[in-house]
Amino acid sequence: MNAFLHQLASGAALGGVYAIMALALVMIYQATQLVNFAQGEMAMFSTYFAWKLTDLGWPYWRAFAVTVVVSFLGGVLIERVVVRPFAKAPVLASVIVFIGLSLIFNALAGWLYGYSVTDFPTPFDGPPWFGQRAMSAHESGSILVSLAVLMLVYAFFRFTPLGLAMRAAAQNPTSSRLVGIRVGWMLAIGWGLAAAIGAIAGMMAAPIVYLDPNMMAGVLLYAFAGAVLGGIDNPFGAAFGGFAVGVTENLMGAYVVGSEVKLSVALAIIVGVLVWRPSGLFGRRLVARV
């Protein structure tokens, strides 16, 4: 029983990471109808940046905060410099750009930091919280951080004028421009937010999956499965899907298929959802009048 609870807990901890990665994917998808395949490698690169800062002796939370801010600016810069020129290009061109970006960040990380697997510090050290045994301190802390990110993002989009303007720009760019919203900047800020959220996901995942240039490949796939499961046009659904996928893959890995092939659980979820319910659990089915 304890072992089962333990699997459940570590599934939820990684699920939180998938949830906020899925949220980052959804954010860009809603604004552009494109899936950013470079999201994982961007997050990985941010995580290396944080690692470098802690390696230089910075306290964890200062490194964390600076990494989030730098990742935000980096995301904005990437949108302005690399993504923007392809705004009117066919979808496939953008997809190629994303794949190119992910290769660039992967190679850059390998070149700068090497390909060896490294430990990444967690701020949630020490004995398990509340005296319970099923969940390590990092798992508890990571879940809390994920939930905090989800709530902050929700509050941002729901209650701030900038969040409202970003939703408006994603929905109806022309009307948004007619009320004075700088739509191009909204998209750049969206990329910045997605990069910042990805950085947090990376820093929460790294103590579990360890730091190496390929650390986010699996995470991104699970996040994508979560987003598809919950509905890629629905932030809540995507976050829920992320948690669900985390728990499912962990339990499947522990009790059913074994940890070697548990990545295929993510693929099975993606294919299954796309076959049976393409809009996801909470997605909107698109009905178009022709």
Partner 1 sequence: MSGAILEVRGLNAFYGPIQALFGLDFAVEEGGATALLGANGAGKTTTLRALSGLIRRQGDIRLGGKPIAGLSTEAIARLGVAHVPDGRGTFTELTVEENLRLGAYVRSDRRGVRRDFERVFGYFPRLAERRRQQAGTLSGGEQQMLAISRALLMRPALLMLDEPSFGLAPMVVAEIFRILAAINRDEGVSMLIVEQNASLALDLADRAVLIETGRAAMSGPSQTRGADDAVRRSYLGY
Binding region for partner 1 (CB under 8 A)? 161, 164-165, 167-168, 171-172, 174-183
Write out the H or E segment, with its range, that includes residue 230.
helix 215-230
Question: What minimum distance in Å lies between the beta carbon of 172 and partner 1?
Answer: 5
Question: What minimum distance in Å lies between the beta carbon of 59 and partner 1?
Answer: 38
Q: Please check whether residue 42 is in contact with residue 198, taking contact to mean a CB–CB distance below 8 angstroms.
A: yes
Q: What do you get for the CA distance between the two ends of the chain, in Å?
A: 55
Give dist(CA 38, CA 267) in Å, integer: 18
Question: What minimum distance in Å lies between the beta carbon of 20 and partner 1?
Answer: 23
Give dist(CA 156, CA 229) in Å, integer: 24
Question: What minimum distance in Å lies between the beta carbon of 185 and partner 1?
Answer: 9
Question: What minimum distance in Å lies between the beta carbon of 175 and partner 1?
Answer: 4
3-state helix, strand, coil in the chain (%, to 5): 75, 0, 20
Question: What minimum distance in Å lies between the beta carbon of 168 and partner 1?
Answer: 5
Closest by Cα among 278, 269, 285, 273 to 18: 269
Q: Please check whether residue 152 is in contact with residue 23, taking contact to mean a CB–CB distance below 8 angstroms.
A: no
Within 8 A by CB and 6+ apart from 246, the residues are 11, 12, 13, 14, 15, 16, 17, 18, 19, 222, 226
